[in-house]
Amino acid sequence: MKFLCGLDKETFYIRANETYIMHEIFTRGPVVATYDVYKDFNYYRKGIYIHKDGGRPTGSHAVKIIGWGKENDVPFWLIANSWNSDWGEDGYFRILRGANHCNIEGGVVTAEPRV
């Protein structure tokens, strides 16, 4: 399966495709992603985050995608945030998967460390 675009010998962008991202997580572990942050994300507490209020992004943020799932037939990415365990779902959040929601699937990177 050829789905990586090389940055250098150890770091790769993963194509913006949920199957490729899932494959990478399954075979090598978590990946790093950036996504567009909107004002309503500041009020996230639990559940699957789906941006609804329009407007422009207030910034971007880097996170670690550690897995995926479905809740009530809604696919999501499970993401570890860096803000602490008091935030969101014990420091984690879920975001809509498969639609490049908030550009979450558009900037995914993985690394292959030298041993």
Q: Which of 23, 42, 51, 81 is catalytic?
A: 81
User: Is 61 annotated in the active site?
Assistant: yes
C-alpha 21/C-alpha 4 separation (Å) is 10
Based on the residue annotation, tell me whether 23 is a catalytic residue of this protein: no
- Out of 61, 72, 100, 101, the active site residue is 61
Provide the sign of the torsion angle of the four alpha carbons 47, 16, 61, 40, taken in this order. Answer: negative
In the DSSP assignment, the letter for residue 43 is G
Pairing of strands 92-96, 48-49: parallel
Question: Residue 96 in contact with residue 71, Cβ under 8 Å?
Answer: no
Active site residues: 61, 81
